Amino acid sequence: MKAYQLIFLGLACCFSQLGFAQLTLSNGEHVLEISGRVSTYYNERNLKPTNNNRNKDRFKLRDAQIQLEGRIRNDWAYELQVDFVDLAVAGTGEIDPENPGLMDAWVKYKGLDFMEIQAGYGKLPYSRNSLVPFIYSPYWQRAQLTRGEFFSRRDAGITLSTTTWKQRIKAYLGAYTGLGEFTLRGDNDATGNLEYVSRVEIAFPSRYRYRDIDYFVSPVPMFALGVNGRYTDRTLPEGREFPEDLGGRYGLRAIDGERYIYGFDLAMQYKGFSAQFEMHQMLARPANPLDPNFLGFTPEQTEGKFYAGGYVAQANYFWKKANSIFSARYEEFDINDLAPGKAQRFSPAFAYQFSGFDAMLKFQYFYIIDEEEALDSMRWTEQWRIGFTLNFK
Amino acid sequence: MKHPYIFLTCLLLLLTSCAVSYDSIKIQPYQNINLKVSEPSDICPNPVKSGHFFIASDDGYLAEINRKGEVTRTKELEIYDAEAVYANEEHVYVVDEFSRSITQLNHDLEVIRTITIPYGGGRNRSYEAFTYNPVKDKFLLFTEKDPIYLFELTTDLKIHNEIKMGKIARDISAATYYQDHLYLLSDEDKLIFKMNPSTYEILQTWYVPVINPEGLAFDENGHVLIVSDDREKLYFFNPLED
């Protein structure tokens, strides 16, 4: 047995005995809660025969987060959340959209009866999978479609939100910089335009929180449906360019031209079983006929547009008596419909809860069924991660 | 199998640290009514007005309802997240999770006093249940979870004793005393616990198939009343049988 296996076993025995301190400061009107999270895992990849780069086969510190969450009466709320690991990486200029370093820095006014107003930097109201807090996930990584390479997950801007029908209907409308997580670098791009995002969701028979796992073992079937869309026109003035890497890994996060993204998501849960399905499609109309996203096709062939998108399906079971979560996820996505092929990935996960979601041993397996080789050739075929996560809140 | 130690670890964990579970009796509601009280979080009988109940709202107010669920009185309070309510013949007590306070009112719903009992636990994991235990002549104040504490308070609302309840449940959402026994409700486990009021030993449990059960009370005939916060409904159950 290797050393790290012994470490995991040791941690497993220790955590089942842990209690968790929390820290809340209050003067009766203003409550400030301090919480945080540390998670680490061991990763191993099976590489393709043509590759010998095993830089991922080792331990990784994934999260080292501190969160300050406050409420002032029922009028104001604020949140500041940072991840020191990702902050250090962001200092080198690289920003992982799933883990951007600064995770939340916003203020919300709740004093109006009909609406809440949030301003600052935080999650965008788009994609249910993106909105589920990661601390409630048995996975080590979100689905590729929703982890920030197709569309940004966070941005600076303003969000208006409202709920009705006993919180079963929620609606969001917002305007943002359109740079996503790259807004943290400072300046906006040369377009001067915003991105607009909206989302409406309805749940039955009661409000449905942003959770994938039926941790409360619902005694009656519960459902939620969400539809969302976003639009931005980022046509660059002549002679101007986007900041470096703004387009992200697939070049989709910022298009020199118009971009629409629309999608829907479904969620259900009953007696510990839960399932989610969501689909997104992007319609992009690059302004420049020579835009690299056209992949060299002529305007007559492309009609001045291309599509990207895909879907994610996930099924989960929470086995309460064994403190265990079993989950499996399948996703299919097309980075650009002008290129042949689609990517398909399968990923099961298991989590053992020592103390609810606050302390978990998590295992995730990744398997690439197919890839869109012309645009995103992978150097590995499968990988797995095992590690622990601890929330102090 | 390429990595058998992973599965060995998982199996070991499953075998060594399973969750607490109970042999519970499942009960079904025979009636439910929609409440016109937003986010109801607890319920207790009004002992001076037959057939009436007080309900605490997460929105920071107290409501009185009749058995049909009609609101007969409301009282806005200077609190933000009322999570528990208890009434005796003299007073009504409302517990605010946000400010960790107990507001004492008379039956005209005039505030007599408010006291704060500091607690450093999570903002939303603080005081959730409150009742009176005549066997010990103490008020009982429970924290919701992580961990579940029971604070025994004197009749003057001073802490007399604190008890860590261990892994009795994943959370506690309500407490009430009825016919010589203490009853607790767990929202996350959807269980009613019948307990010995002297030793806090669990005597019996019932499973309640209700979404987000936050409040528990008994009426004059022993029917069980449970309020669902998310559904804003009041459920009626037949008297409990062991």
Q: Enumerate residues 4 to 63 of chain B having a beta carbon within 8 A of any beta carbon in chain A.
A: 5-6, 9-10, 12-14, 16-19, 21, 59-60
Query: What would you report as the CA-atom Rg of chain B, rounded to the nearest whole angstrom?
Result: 19
Helices (H), chain A: 3-15, 84-90, 128-131, 299-302
Q: Using 50, 70 and 90 to split pLDDT, how confident is the model at A272?
A: very high
pLDDT at A114 (0 to 100): 95
pLDDT at A297 (0 to 100): 97
∠ Cα B234 B238 B241 (to 5°): 130
Burial status of residue A34 (CB atoms within 10 A of its CB: 0-12, 13-18, 19 or more)? middle
Residues of B in Cβ contact (< 8 Å) with A113: none
For chain B, residues with pLDDT lower than 50 are 1
User: What are B18's two structure tokens?
Assistant: 């399973």
Residues of B in Cβ contact (< 8 Å) with A208: none
Query: Would the pLDDT of A77 be above 50?
Result: yes
Is B146 in contact with A28 (Cβ distance < 8 A)? Answer: no
Residues of B in Cβ contact (< 8 Å) with A24: 119-123, 126
- What CATH number does the domain located at B22-237 have? 2.120.10.30
pLDDT digits (tens, 9 = 90+) for A351-391: 999 999 999 999 999 999 999 999 999 999 999 999 999 99
Q: Using 50, 70 and 90 to split pLDDT, how confident is the model at A221?
A: very high
Is A206 in contact with B10 (Cβ distance < 8 A)? Answer: no
Domain ranges of chain B: 22-237
Kindly provide the ipTM of the predicted complex, given to two decimals: 0.91
Helices (H), chain B: 4-16
Q: Using 50, 70 and 90 to split pLDDT, how confident is the model at A187?
A: confident
The C-alpha of A37 sits at a distance from chain B's nearest C-alpha, in angstroms, of 14
* Chain B CB within 8 Å of residue A164 CB: no
Report the pLDDT averaged over residues A208-232. 98
- Give the position of tokens 């806005």: B76
Residues of B in Cβ contact (< 8 Å) with A20: 146
A-chain residue closest to B58, CA distance: A74
| Cα atoms in the Cβ-side hemisphere of radius 13 Å centred on B36 | 11
**Residue B182 DSSP SS3:** strand
Taking the C-alpha atoms of residue A162 and residue B24, their distance in angstroms, rounded to an integer, is: 40
- Could you give all domains of chain A from N- to C-terminal order, each with its CATH number? 3-392 (2.40.160.10)
Taking the C-alpha atoms of residue A86 and residue A105, their distance in angstroms, rounded to an integer, is: 15
pLDDT at A97 (0 to 100): 82
Average pLDDT, chain B: 93
Report the pLDDT averaged over residues A332-361. 97
pTM of the model: 0.92
pLDDT at A18 (0 to 100): 43
Greater model confidence, A98 or B171: B171
Q: Using 50, 70 and 90 to split pLDDT, how confident is the model at A392?
A: confident
